[in-house]
Structure formats: structure tokens, C-alpha cells
Structure 1
Amino acid sequence: MSAASDSPRTLLLGIGNLLWADEGFGVRVVEHIARHYRFGPEVRLLDGGTQGIYLVDQVRWAELLVIFDAVDYGLAPGTLELVEGEAVPRFLGARKMSLHQTGFQEVLALAALLGDLPERMLLVGVQPAELEDFGGSLTPGVRAMIEPAVAAARDWLAPHGVAWTALAQPSEPGALADLPHGALELERYERERPSAEQACRSGDARVLERLRED
């Protein structure tokens, strides 16, 4: 336990890439939490992006670790699934969906090697519907799982005394450090990003045609 509080050191970590459609789910969940809640000093919110091994010190600091991510469960798109404890690193290793998951599996392995793996871990994952849309955003079914993912984390953390203070009004995007810049806030991103017609998000047709010929 942390010396200044009876609550355990808790890391709420979103991983993924905002620019690849549903791959950004984990970061969007942490962004939502940051805009709607405040915590004591024993709780950290972090956009882990695709940083991989650079997250190891943050993970080693935590006693409780909640990871939000888009995960290939082999289920229907938009399905929310929870994985706990020792199954978390094993699961991330068994079903790699992108390079950031390989990197984060290594983070957990290194933290364990150094004797600082969090005491308890929870993976809150959603089955993605779309990953091959560069510059895309969350699909509707996956976006609808943001608040259920937050609720699942709250329920899991409640027995450990982690207090969530709801804000009367959402804070401004990008108000907290270690989170996405305000320009990448979900509504603004969706409003200002080029359409698929303006900026091809599936590859240059000339290159794709050449690959088919080869």
C-alpha cells in the first residue's frame, strides 16, 4: 500500500493506436475517464499508446493494474470481455493482434523478472470490428462499449477502496498530462479528420494493383 493513503497504487492504462479505428479503444476509455472523473494521488491515468517497453516503470509502480485494449477474443465484434490475474500476460501472448500487444507482454514479463509485477491485474478488452482503416475512428459497436468498460473497472476496483469522484461537467479535452492531446479528442477527431474520399485510408490503388500483378 502507498504510505500517504489506504488505497493501493492504481494504474488505469489504455493501450493501442488511435489512428487505426478500433485499435484505439483502450486509449479512448482512459480519455473518457479523464474527462469525467478525478482521483487521489494514488491513481494514475495513462495513454500508453504503443510505447511498449517504455511503460515498464509505470507498471512496476502499480499495485493494481487495469488495462483497456482492443483484444481478439474470437467473439462477436463489440463484445466486452474481462481477463484477470496471471491469465492477462498469457492471453496477450496467445492472441497477438498488433505489435503493441507483443511489446506490452514484454513489459509484464520484465516487471515480473524485476519482482515488481502488480499484485492484481485486470484486462478490459473489446472485440474489434475494424482495424484496417488508417485514419478511421471507433466503429459504433465498439464505441458503445466505452462506458461499460469504465463500469467494469469501477466494479473491480471498488473492493480495494479506489474512489472515483464524478465531475459535474466533463473537463476540457487534453486537460491532464499523459493523455491524448486535445486535438485528438474523440469528437474533434471524428469531426475534423478527412473523409475516406478525401484521404484514402486503405492503401494506394496503384500500389495494390501492382501487388496483385506480382
Structure 2
Amino acid sequence: MDQIKSNPIVLLGVGNILLTDEGFGVHVVNQLREDYVFNPPITILDGGTMGMELLTYMRGMKKLLLVDAINGGDTPGTVYEFPHEEMNSYFTEAISVHEVGMQDILRIRALQEDPLEDAVVIGVEPESLELGLTLSDSTQAVVAEVKERVLAVLSNWHIIASPVSEQEE
């Protein structure tokens, strides 16, 4: 657990998996955790609907990659990507479809530690926020694209993602 608490790179999926597309970020990061081995290791966190408890997992964090459902007003299934310099607009416009309080969490973290070196938000426009455990067709259709974007960001951060299937050979 101490290694998790001090890892410099955090891949965080947030959302409520009980509300169809709101759980998009959690579904994506859990798939990445199952399908890949990352070197050097990163923290992959199912943030669910945690609030301030997330601070525990952000100690020592230098880079944050957040995957979320994003209410940007486009057609369902639209993929969004906000680099570090655009992240503040993501939080200040409150387009996250749930109330995780990420802006407050990052502000508190910034008071406790040095500023983040880099941060990226990747997400998708939800089709449904109804009660249900599976993603809608329009968001399920872009899961592979979002995973590729996540892997590209991690690659830019010098993280090598190897498929688990290659590890078993």
C-alpha cells in the first residue's frame, strides 16, 4: 500500500458504475489494469465516487491521467481530451457528470505537495445515466479509442504498456 501511496504516476477512473455511462472512467481503467502490465509500475485507481479519500492515493503524485464521463454537450460517444493547460476549464465548467469534487481534491493536494508536472483528462459524452451496470452502445463503441489515448499519454510519460497475454508466454 505504501508503494501505491507514493507512486508518481496515477491513472484514475472516476464515476458511479451503477449508473450506466457515468461509470465509464472506472470501466476503462479496470480493463487497462486487467489487460496490461506497466513498466515502470503506475498506480491504477478505481476512484469510483470517492471524494477526499482520493488524497491518500495521491501522495507523491507528479502526473495524473483522469478518465471520466464528460457532459460537454456533444453527441453521445464523443471523446474529449484535456491536456494539463486545459484541465482547469474542465473542472471550473463542472462538466464532469458527477460530483467527485476533483477540483477541491487537487487544490488540497497542491497545498500539501509540489504542483503536478502534468495532467490529462480523457473522457466520453454519456448517452445514459440511468440505473444499470453496463455502458450504452455509444460509449461502449469508443472504449478502445479511449484506451488507446490513455496508452499514448502514458507512452509520452515513458511508461511501457505490455499486454498481459505477452507476459504469459
Shorter-chain TM-score bucket reads 0.7 to 0.9
CA drift at 1:18 = 0.2
Secondary structure in 2 matching 1:66: strand
Q: 1:39 to 1:136 in 2, by over 3 A?
A: closer
Runs of 4+ in 1 over 4 A off after TM superposition: none
Distance, in Å, in 1 between the alignment partners of 2:106 and 2:118 is: 12
CA drift at 1:136 = 4.3
Question: Which residue of structure 2 lines up, in the alignment, with residue 119 of structure 1?
Answer: 117
Question: Which residue of structure 2 lines up, in the alignment, with residue 134 of structure 1?
Answer: 131
Question: Which residue of structure 1 lines up, in the alignment, with residue 147 of structure 2?
Answer: 150
Distance, in Å, in 2 between the alignment partners of 1:117 and 1:142 is: 32
Distance, in Å, in 1 between the alignment partners of 2:56 and 2:89 is: 20
Gaps of 5+ in 1: 1-7, 172-214
Question: Which residue of structure 2 lines up, in the alignment, with residue 75 of structure 1?
Answer: 74
CA contact (8 A) 2:68 2:121 kept: yes
CA contact (8 A) 1:10 1:65 kept: yes
> What number of residue pairs does the alignment pair up?
161
CA drift at 1:30 = 0.6
CA drift at 1:147 = 1.4
Distance, in Å, in 2 between the alignment partners of 1:58 and 1:118 is: 14
Gaps of 5+ in 2: 1-6
1:1-214 alignment, distance < 5 Å: 9-40=8-39, 42-96=41-95, 97-100=97-100, 103-131=101-129, 133-168=130-165
CA contact (8 A) 1:29 1:68 kept: yes
Question: Which of the pair is proportionally richer in strand?
Answer: 2
CA drift at 1:89 = 3.6
Secondary structure in 2 matching 1:38: strand
CA drift at 1:99 = 1.6
Q: 1:119 to 1:57 in 2, by over 3 A?
A: farther
RMSD: 2.1
Distance, in Å, in 1 between the alignment partners of 2:149 and 2:40 is: 22
TM-score by length of 2: 0.86
Distance, in Å, in 2 between the alignment partners of 1:14 and 1:82 is: 14
Q: Which has the higher contact order (CA 8 A, sep 6+)?
A: 2
CA contact (8 A) 2:26 2:48 kept: yes
Identity of aligned pairs, percent?
Answer: 30
TM-score by length of 1: 0.69
CA contact (8 A) 2:40 2:159 kept: no
Larger radius of gyration: 1
